[in-house]
Amino acid sequence: MQNAHFRIIGKIMLLTLILSGPVLTSSAQDLPVVPLDALWTDKIHTLAPEKPSFPFSGKKKILVFSLHTGFEHWVIPHTSEMIRIISEKSGAFETVDSKDIRMFESENLKNFSAVVLNNTCSKPEHRNLFWDKLRAESEEDSLILMQKALDLEKNLLNYVENGGGLMVVHGGITTQNKSRAFSRLVGASFDYHPPQQPIQVRLVDPEHPLVKAFPKEGFNHIDEPYFYSKAYEDKDFRPLLYFNNEEITGQRQPAKTGKTYVSWIRPEGKGKVMYCSPSHNAQSFENPDLLRFFLNGLQYVVGDVDCDDRPLGSS
């Protein structure tokens, strides 16, 4: 009965958003594309937290990296703007936007307290964002370009290991999707997703400080329900949010049962990592609790938050 209630709520949300939103859309099942204009940014600024949840010392610089070579999520610029707004309004962070892979040279990474991978989807052929960009810009020997791509990935791995923060948003999990090292760093690789649908996102532990802004029953929104592979099977992370697989339609057969985590945190060496799948749509950022969650996550990855981030296997 409760699951049916959540599905009814989700269908009402979807109908309301479609009737009230702009006419631009990428397909019949997707939510309308929201223009990134003053109306939207003013709304997000009004809903954003006035101040951080946790104490912080000094404004920290964050790289918001938004290059895609594969699937283009229309929410990319909205996500970048959302992060800028919550950072600026709270006074905790300064953001730098870039699509230049040279930012992953070691001498550039050291200028930032954290990196956000904003829907940095790579092409399916190699699932290597760095290779995609290098190949598109150069006719150099493939072996030389692949080595450069591997060096840039290694720079990111070392950056986090030595104390840098990493937040991966939604499709950013596919950045280096065939790399076992990147999968282990993030906590998973992307497998597939059914069509967009209303999802009841639930809290693993309502008392965890990073999720306390949400109602104890979680929240409902329209999204792509991601399923994961590779390092995900190890559960080498502290989960924060999940959905019940039985509530997800359109799964590959055999359909999964149990739960799938959609956001988690994990320490890596001296650094911190957070993955957050919500959201594929800018409409979800109109939830002030989700804005608070992103701000909490940024504070976690830069080291402002002392919380339980022990992997499931070590609890």
Distance between CA atoms of 188 and 166, rounded to whole angstroms? 14
On the 0-12 / 13-18 / 19+ scale of CB atoms within 10 A, 176 is buried
Q: Using one digit for the tens of pLDDT, what is the confidence trace for 218-228?
A: 999 999 999 99
List the structure tokens of 184: 């282990």
Residue 153's pLDDT is what? Answer: 98
> Is the distance from CB of 61 to CB of 110 less than 8 angstroms?
no
Distance between CA atoms of 185 and 166, rounded to whole angstroms? 9
Residue 4's pLDDT is what? Answer: 45
- What the chain holds in terms of domains, given with CATH numbers, is 2-314 (3.40.50.880)
Residue 22's pLDDT is what? Answer: 33
- Strand 197-203, strand 219-223: pairing: antiparallel
Residue with tokens 């559960």: 235
The percentage of residues in the chain with a pLDDT greater than 70, rounded to a whole number, is: 90
When pLDDT is averaged across residues 253-272 and rounded to a whole number, the result is 97
Whether a cis peptide bond, with omega within 30° of 0, leads into 26 is: no
Statement: residue 313 has pLDDT above 60? yes
Looking at per-residue pLDDT, the higher value among 128 and 19 belongs to 128
> Is the distance from CB of 132 to CB of 175 less than 8 angstroms?
no
Residue with tokens 């006035």: 50
Statement: residue 5 has pLDDT above 90? no
Q: Using one digit for the tens of pLDDT, what is the confidence trace for 23-74?
A: 333 333 588 999 999 999 999 999 999 999 999 989 999 999 999 999 999 9
Q: Using one digit for the tens of pLDDT, what is the confidence trace for 74-111?
A: 999 999 999 999 999 999 999 999 999 999 999 999 99
Band (pLDDT 50/70/90 cuts) for residue 314 is low
Q: Is 113 helix (H, G, I), strand (E, B) or coil?
A: coil
- 288 phi and psi, to 5 degrees? -60, -25
Q: Residue type for 94, please?
A: E
Rounded to 10°, the helix 129-137/142-161 angle is 140
CA torsion 178-155-210-239 (nearest 10°) is 30
Distance between CA atoms of 114 and 165, rounded to whole angstroms? 4
List the structure tokens of 101: 């892979």
